[in-house]
């Protein structure tokens, strides 16, 4: 078989070089598209969950530090229900004054709220989902309009405990705070002052009979 001539080699080399140039040009032209799709601010791309959770934990810690500094610590144990009630009321009033400008979203920012909704939805869709749904479905009906940030948890509303399987996928809390499901909302409750620190509206998918 005859060997390719020098002129044929040059033509092939030219074609290869042209192909490489076209591919490189396409890559350069498309690079802004890839950069946009990988931008953390793009809603189609999940943000860094680790940083989002860390920010949430920082806000929770700051809340407790300020509450202890401005309003005091948890009431001391006592055998007198009256003394305990007075101590809780005193702590609640001081806490409310110290957070007079508190609003929904101060702790549960949009990013962490989205994270919680994803986590709760994943649990409800998982192996334990049927049991969790049954537990939530059998809870007493509540008036969700009664929820207000920096207000005492309404005494007429039942304190729906969190199923353990739901808690497993949520960031742990200091002992003075608890998650509570109220209707479809996820409430962050200060158990010492009985105040609603913040809440995530429509945190759980609709629970149907």
Alpha-carbon span 173 to 112, nearest angstrom: 14
Is 146 within 8 Å of 157 (Cβ atoms)?
yes
What confidence category does residue 140 fall into, taking pLDDT thresholds of 50, 70 and 90? low
Whether residue 44 is predicted with pLDDT greater than 50 in this model: the reply is: no
Alpha-carbon span 200 to 179, nearest angstrom: 10
Q: What is the mean pLDDT of residues 18-30?
A: 40
pLDDT at 46: 62
Whether residue 24 is predicted with pLDDT greater than 70 in this model: the reply is: no
Is 182 within 8 Å of 156 (Cβ atoms)?
no
Q: What is the pLDDT of residues 173-193, one digit of tens each?
A: 999 999 998 888 999 999 999
DSSP 200: E
What confidence category does residue 125 fall into, taking pLDDT thresholds of 50, 70 and 90? confident
**Whole-angstrom distance between the N-terminal and C-terminal Cα of the chain?**
80
pLDDT at 26: 40
Alpha-carbon span 136 to 161, nearest angstrom: 9
pLDDT at 95: 92
pLDDT at 23: 38
pTM of the predicted model over 0.85: no
pLDDT at 83: 84
The three-state secondary structure class of 10 is helix
pLDDT, averaged across the chain:
77
Whether residue 39 is predicted with pLDDT greater than 70 in this model: the reply is: no
Q: What is the pLDDT of residues 67-124, one digit of tens each?
A: 999 888 887 777 788 888 888 889 999 999 999 999 999 999 999 999 999 999 998 8
């Amino acid at each position: 078989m005859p060997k390719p001539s020098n002129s044929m080699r040059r033509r092939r080399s030219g074609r290869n070089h042209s192909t490489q140039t076209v591919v490189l040009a396409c890559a350069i032209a498309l690079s802004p598209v890839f950069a946009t799709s990988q931008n953390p601010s793009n809603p189609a791309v999940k943000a860094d969950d680790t940083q989002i959770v860390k920010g949430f934990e920082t806000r929770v810690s700051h809340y407790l530090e300020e509450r202890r500094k401005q309003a005091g610590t948890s009431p001391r144990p006592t055998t007198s229900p009256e003394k305990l009630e007075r101590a809780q009321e005193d702590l609640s009033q001081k806490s409310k004054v110290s957070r007079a400008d508190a609003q929904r979203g101060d702790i549960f920012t949009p990013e962490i709220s989205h994270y919680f909704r994803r986590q709760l939805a994943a649990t409800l869709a998982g192996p334990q989902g049927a049991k969790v749904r049954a537990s939530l479905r059998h809870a007493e009906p509540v008036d969700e309009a009664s929820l207000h940030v920096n207000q005492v948890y309404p005494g007429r509303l039942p304190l729906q405990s969190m199923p353990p399987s739901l808690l497993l996928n949520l960031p742990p809390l200091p002992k003075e705070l608890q998650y509570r499901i109220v209707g479809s909302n996820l409430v962050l409750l200060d158990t010492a002052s009985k105040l609603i620190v913040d809440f995530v509206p429509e945190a759980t998918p609709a629970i149907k009979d």
